[in-house]
Amino acid sequence: MLKSKALLLSLAATVMVASPVLASDTLKVGVQAPITGSYANEGQGIDQSVRLLADQINAKGGVLGKKIEVVTCDDEGTAMKAAICAKDLVNKKVSMVIGSYTSTCAEAAQATYYRAGVLQTSDGTSDTLTEHGYWTFFRNSFPNSAEAEFAANYMVKEKAYKNIAILSDFSSYADGLATAVQDAVKKLGGNVVAREKIKAGSQNFTPVLTQMKSKKPDVIFFAGYYSDGGLIRSQQVALGIKADFIGGDANDNVDFVKLAGNAATGAYIINVPTPELLPYDLAKDFLKAYKAKYNMMPPSIWTILNVDGMRAFIHGIEATKSFDTKKVAEYLHTLKDYPGITGPISFAADGNRVGSGYMTYEIQKDGSYKIVFK
Amino acid sequence: MDTFLQQLVNGLTIGSMFALIALGYTMVYGVMKLINFAHGDLVAGSAFVGLFVFSQLLGGEVSLPVVIGVFLLTIVAISLLGFTVERLAYRPLRTAPRLSAVVSALGASMVIQNGIMLLWGPQMQIFPELIPSVIWEVGGVVISLMQVLIMALSTLLMVGLYFFVEKTKIGTAIRASAIDQDAARLMGINVNNIIVTIFLIGSSLGAVGGLFIGLYYRGITFNMGWQYGLYAFVAAIIGGIGNIPGAMLGGLLLGLFKAFIAGYVSSTWADAFTFILLIVILIVRPTGILGERVAEKV
């Protein structure tokens, strides 16, 4: 008798401990980002800045009286892991997800968030991200098509390159951007002499560069990520290919300059303004807080764009006075000029961020950026 | 023609690196009949140790003595690591079934890989530019000082190893142990010492390979050992595993094959074709190009 009583008691205790903390206590914010893998420093930047923003909001009393709780899932920059992360975060009952860094990972997770009614914001620039018609998805950066037009105009009109070579990897972002650039160049009457693809992370790009060299390009446009871009630039110079190098937006990362080494000097990168160049007070304050907390600068603008996505979500909750994601999304789809760290935030009905502000930077000897065209 | 010659130079450069790493696999297999899966991770570890030695121990300024110091200290550190792996992961299993040793090898590989991740973090690290970027253009073919150094040093090491194994007393003992360990023991050879020797030599060559990878490719990640290990392993099999000149030949052939496939077919398909080549060679010549057909001991 005594034994069964004890059993009952312990059972009851287990149930009490195991029962989930009431869902309404906190606002759960998911981070889906590549914390490890090739894009680790971007993923860590996103995670760190989301946590910083959460701390700042919690210090002011939270969102409608609820504290923010950050739940991070490492998608390693792979689509397979991204899909697992999406399920995991949905199971943990997050109401919004920040990420991921790559379009591929954002896209692999999109449908899961859509079905669960979880808001998602990503810096992925692939045009396909907003083509599925998911009301849950908001892009906090600007799409490839805008960048492609800017890049084509720069290469064909401004620099008047005769022979343009385009290189990309196979990810949905990079391939999409390269194809868009190719189309835009052709539309402006430019001459594309080569369109090659590389396998991201394969490190040895000399064979494909050698092949390109025989086509005598004046410029190599690389759509892809910094971890490959830096190596491509350094191997291009080592092979004596005297073409200019223009990297697409994802080459904008401190590691590009480190990887390319001395070869980085003179390379061009096309992107929206870097964090240091943002003129807004909000940006200066956030960067100062980031530096104070982590003793480093954010790895790139992508970190900050994701923070803006999250700020827009929080603003949506506060403006609608509701945690109902459907209502918040409806409000956000008409959001206009909400002051953001990266400039005014407006969303179109398909979840695209409205506006763009691309620039061309030239990398200087000391590794800093100089604006050469905007 | 220019393009062909350029791909030839590119292929020989990466081929020499593959060959250096492949030697580690083939020497261990030759004597112990064991695939040392941890070898690729020793190679990756070498790049990280080199980075540490350069930036933390030797002050981070490039000069000839410093570069030589980086190579020597890294080789010593990695051969000690190879020695430790043999002591802890393989020696206790000397008489155990072969499968146990293979599992132990995989375990050692994971321990080293995760060890690198814990020490240096999961993100890509940048290897310093130890060799000045000097390039020469000879009749349309561009060759860099780095490529010359990689090819020259690899050739030197491989020729040295060949003569060591063929002409010295220890080399003879290594070959004897490879043929029949029991008979070698009866002839007064301490097989355990021979195994330690091949681990030290194999790890040292792998260490040089790892430093070359760092120098040539710049970006190093904790899990890259798997990729390079796999290529080198394929190279060893193509040449005939257990056969030292075979590993050298296999490495060079694989490097050239990859460069030409990437150059003339598609860089995306380079890996697929590499493994198709492996399958074809295993079907046509299961013992590899230079491997001898050995009657199965019953």
- Check A210 against B258: CB less than 8 A apart: no
Q: Which pLDDT does position B298 carry in this prediction?
A: 45
What's the pLDDT at A4? 59
CB contact under 8 A, B142 and A199: no
Domains of chain B: 2-284 (1.10.3470)
Residue A42: closest C-alpha in chain B: B123
Q: A238 vs B142: CB contact, 8 Å cut-off?
A: yes
- pLDDT for A45 equals 93
Same domain, A127 and A171: no
**Residue A181 falls inside a structural domain:** yes
β-sheet bridge partners, residue B135 = B144
Nearest to A74 by CA among A82, A66, A83: A82
Q: Is the ipTM of this complex over 0.90?
A: no
Least CB–CB distance from A259: residue in B219, B258, B264:
B219
Question: Do A130 and A152 share a structural domain?
Answer: no
Residue whose C-alpha is closest to residue A270's, from A87, A142, A165: A142
Q: Tens of pLDDT along A294-306?
A: 999 888 889 999 9
Question: What are the structure tokens assigned to B229, written together?
Answer: 């290990």
Question: Residue A120: inside a domain, yes or no?
Answer: yes
Residue A321 domain flag: yes
Considering its fold, how many domains does chain A have in total?
Answer: 2
Residues A44 and A119 in one domain: yes
Measured distance CA(A296)–CA(B32) in Å, rounded = 50
State how far the Cα of A105 lies from the Cα of A257, in Å rounded to an integer. 25
Listed in sequence order, the residues at least 6 apart from B137 whose beta carbon sits closer than 8 Å to its beta carbon are A240
A160 plus A211 within the same structural domain: yes
Which pLDDT does position A7 carry in this prediction?
A: 54
- Residue range(s) defining the domain that contains residue A211: 144-271
Q: With cut-offs at 50, 70 and 90, classify the pLDDT of residue B137.
A: confident
Do A323 and A298 share a structural domain? yes
A177 and A125 co-located in one domain: no
- A236 and A266 inside one domain: yes
Give residue A141's identity as a one-letter amino acid code: S
* A20 confidence band (pLDDT: 50, 70, 90): very low
- Same domain? A267 vs A151: yes
Cβ–Cβ gap A259/B218 under 8 Å: yes
The tokens of B169 are what? 């007393």
Q: Does residue A165 share a domain with residue A245? A: yes
Domain end marker among A332, A353, A369? A332
| Residue from the list B142, B258, B267 with its beta carbon closest to the beta carbon of A239 | B142
Q: What is the DSSP string of A71-103?
A: EEEE-TT-HHHHHHHHHHHHHTT-SEEE--SSH
Cβ–Cβ gap A44/B123 under 8 Å: yes
Q: Which residue of A has its CA nearest to B213?
A: A203
Contact B31, B14 (CB under 8 A): no
Instruction: Judge whether residue A62 has pLDDT over 50.
Output: yes
With cut-offs at 50, 70 and 90, classify the pLDDT of residue A12.
low
**CATH code for the domain of A79:** 3.40.50.2300
Q: How far is B262 from chain A (nearest CA, A)?
A: 6
The verdict on residue A233 lying in a domain is yes
| Per-residue pLDDT at B294 | 56
Which of A271, A300, A320 is the last residue in one of the domains?
Answer: A271
> What pTM did the predictor assign?
0.76
Measured from the Cβ of residue A271, the count of other Cβ atoms closer than 10 Å reads 25
Closest to A120 (Cα-Cα) out of A138, A102, A104, A132: A138
Query: Residue A339 falls within a domain, yes or no?
Result: no
Chain A CB within 8 Å of residue B263 CB? yes
The distance of A347 to chain B (nearest Cα, Å) reads 33
A275: CB partners within 8 A, 6+ apart: A283, A287, A297, A298, A300, A301, A303, A304
In a domain, A358, yes or no: no
Could you identify the residue written with the tokens 């130890």? B130
| Strand partners for A165 | A194, A220
Check whether residue A150 and residue A263 sit in a common domain: yes
B3 vs A: CB within 8 A: yes
Q: Are B42 and B206 in contact (CB under 8 A)?
A: yes
Lowest mean pLDDT among A20-24, A177-181, B72-76, B163-167: A20-24
Q: What is the pLDDT of residues A320-336, one digit of tens each?
A: 999 999 999 999 999 98
pLDDT of residue B46: 96
pLDDT at B59: 80
DSSP secondary structure code for residue A17 in this structure? H
Rounded CA separation A176/A171 (Å)? 8
Q: What are phi and psi of A32, to 5 degrees?
A: -115, 110
> Is residue A237 less than 8 Å (CB to CB) from chain B?
yes
pLDDT at B154: 94
Chain B contact set for A263 (CB, 8 A): 133
Q: In the 8-state DSSP scheme, what is residue A155?
A: I
Last residue of a domain, one of A314, A332, A350: A332
Residue A13 in any domain: the answer is no
pLDDT tens, residue by residue, A241-278: 889 999 998 898 888 998 888 889 999 999 888 888 78
Q: Which of A49, A60, A47 is nearest to A318 (CA)?
A: A60
In a domain, A365, yes or no: no
3-state secondary structure of A15: helix
Q: Which residue of A has its CA nearest to B144?
A: A238
Amino acid in the structure at residue A61: G
Contacts of B138 (CB under 8 A, 6+ apart): none
Cα dist from B12 to A214, B140, B252, whole Å = 20, 17, 6
Residues A135 and A186 in one domain: no
Tell me the three-class secondary structure of chain B, residue by residue. CHHHHHHHHHHHHHHHHHHHHHHHHHHHHHHHCCCCCCHHHHHHHHHHHHHHHHHHHCCCCCCHHHHHHHHHHHHHHHHHHHHHHHHHHHHHHCCCCHHHHHHHHHHHHHHHHHHHHHHHCCCCEECCCCCCCCEEEECCEEEEHHHHHHHHHHHHHHHHHHHHHHHCHHHHHHHHHHHCHHHHHHCCCCHHHHHHHHHHHHHHHHHHHHHHHHHHHCEECCCHHHHHHHHHHHHHHHHCCCCHHHHHHHHHHHHHHHHHHHHHHCHHHHHHHHHHHHHHHHHHCCCCCCCCCCCCCC
A202 shares its domain with A306: no
Give the closest-approach CA distance of B113 to chain A in angstroms: 13
